[in-house]
Amino acid sequence: MNISYKMTDKTMQVLMYYSNQDIRVEEMPVPEIGAGELLMKVVASGICGSDVMEWYRRDKVPLVLGHEVAGEVLEVGEGVERFKPGDRVAATHHVPCNTCHYCLNGHHTMCETLLKGTHFHPGGFAEYLRVPAINVDRGVFHIPEGVSYEDASFMEPLACVLRGQRNAGLKPGQSVLVLGSGISGLLHIGLARATGAGLVVAADTIPFRLKMAEEMGAHLALKADEELLNSLREANDGRLADLVIICFDGFIPLALSAVERGGTVLFFAGASEGAMIPVTINDLFWRTEITLTSTYAGAPCDCGTALKLIKAGAVAVGKTVTHRMAMGEAAKGFQAVCSPVEYECVKVIVEPHGIED
């Protein structure tokens, strides 16, 4: 067995989630690891939009959230051969079985193991976390040389974006409209530019986010209002968008009006509880050949590709970071994500061991 030093019987700080308004710094034991597992020192952990979907969390609280993690291997369990103490790694919290009906048909993120059977202990907003054996087997990746822990923590969210655009069938040269320029929208913009979209248009109602959309590579950054469709046609040879990506459910009606005949609407972001699609079948589908599709999460293969894109600088993930916070102030990070206009917030990175220079 290859082990550096034992953390057993020591305590650590965690960020315990009770609600979006009640985030507490608490102590709990450092996890013990078993065969096939890793103990990771968490260096960077991003706050995801799903972390503040209160309706999605309320029946599970209190809990330690955080799944966009990068850090250092401290201990390895018996049988672990690909990793050793001191390795710099990024990990994904959900992984598939690779053998079920869904996995064998390419729908790895619909696998019951991924959906319900895998997770970190206790979560990424902790000084240390235990990575279960199945995650170690297929969901932990060495951070490439030259990639920072902060940038590596974007592996999981960029993997989700990558899977979304692939499932939506985006082809080089097509036009893309990204509705919502929060973190998901900005990553979609960066990836669409990197993979050769002909025209990438960002739309939002928040001015500073539109500025960031331009910095991430949007050809146009437009206000999401009644003039958007006309502006889109003017920029796209009279056509609407081949692919419309919804990154905020408030833009669903606009998305359904902004897709070109034969185009696709990708429902990417999680919606508010009870949200509906306001559409009549004849108006949207008849004689249009429009496709409505969705995507959820990312598979290990997407994570590996995402790290390669980050290494290559193809998607400038670091440009999206607006806040970096140590554990003691990380509750403010949740406030910032919930109130992006007030805090001018896009991406918050929690650094459980303190802010690095």
Q: How many domains, in total, are found in the chain? A: 2
On whether both 290 and 307 belong to a single domain, the answer is no
pLDDT score of 1 = 33
Question: Which tens digits make up the pLDDT trace of 154-179?
Answer: 999 999 999 999 999 999 999 999 99
Question: Sign of dihedral through CA atoms 133, 139, 145, 148?
Answer: negative
Residue 217 lies in a domain: yes
Residue 211 belongs to a domain with what CATH number?
Answer: 3.40.50.720
The C-alpha angle 317, 322, 325, rounded to 5 degrees, equals 110
On whether both 145 and 266 belong to a single domain, the answer is no
Ranges of residues in the chain whose predicted pLDDT is under 70: 1-9, 356-357
pLDDT score of 356 = 67
Q: Are the beta carbons of 119 and 63 closer than 8 angstroms?
A: no
Instruction: Specify the DSSP class assigned to residue 236.
Output: T
pLDDT score of 5 = 41
DSSP per-residue string spanning 101-118: HHHHTT-GGG-HIIIII-
- Rounded Cα distance, 343 and 62, in Å: 26
Domain boundary among 249, 278, 294: 294
Residue 91 belongs to a domain with what CATH number?
Answer: 3.90.180.10
For tokens 């974006």, name the residue: 161
On whether both 146 and 26 belong to a single domain, the answer is yes
Q: Enumerate the β-bridge partners of residue 349.
A: 46, 324
- Helix (H) and strand (E) counts for the chain? 14, 16
- Rounded Cα distance, 209 and 320, in Å: 10
On whether both 287 and 310 belong to a single domain, the answer is no
216's tokens = 């991430």
Residue 2 lies in a domain: no
On whether both 53 and 127 belong to a single domain, the answer is yes
222's tokens = 């437009």
Phi-psi region of 155 (alpha: psi -120 to 50; beta: other; left: phi over 0): alpha
On whether both 107 and 227 belong to a single domain, the answer is no
On whether both 106 and 195 belong to a single domain, the answer is no
On whether both 133 and 249 belong to a single domain, the answer is no
Count of CB atoms within 10 A of residue 143's CB?
A: 23
Residue 164 lies in a domain: no
The residue type found at 353 is H
SS (H, E, C) 254-287: HHHHHEEEEEEEEECCCCCCCCCCCCCHHHHCCC
Phi/psi at 215 (5° precision): -65, -30
Residue whose C-alpha is closest to residue 261's, from 236, 290, 238, 284:
290
On whether both 147 and 179 belong to a single domain, the answer is no
Long-range contacts formed by 172-176: CB under 8 A, 24+ apart: 172/196, 172/197, 172/198, 173/197, 173/198, 174/198, 174/242, 174/243, 175/199, 175/200, 175/201, 175/236, 175/239, 175/241, 175/242, 175/243, 175/260, 176/200, 176/201, 176/241, 176/242, 176/243, 176/244, 176/245
Residue 4 lies in a domain: no
Residue 235 lies in a domain: yes
What residues contact residue 198 under an 8 Å CB cut-off, 6+ apart?
172, 173, 174, 175
On whether both 333 and 227 belong to a single domain, the answer is no
On whether both 34 and 150 belong to a single domain, the answer is yes
Residue 6 lies in a domain: no
Residue 93 lies in a domain: yes
Residue 3 lies in a domain: no
- Rounded Cα distance, 149 and 258, in Å: 38
- pTM recorded for the entire structure: 0.95
Q: Provide the domain limits for residue 342.
A: 11-159+298-351
Q: Give the three-state DSSP class for 330.
A: helix
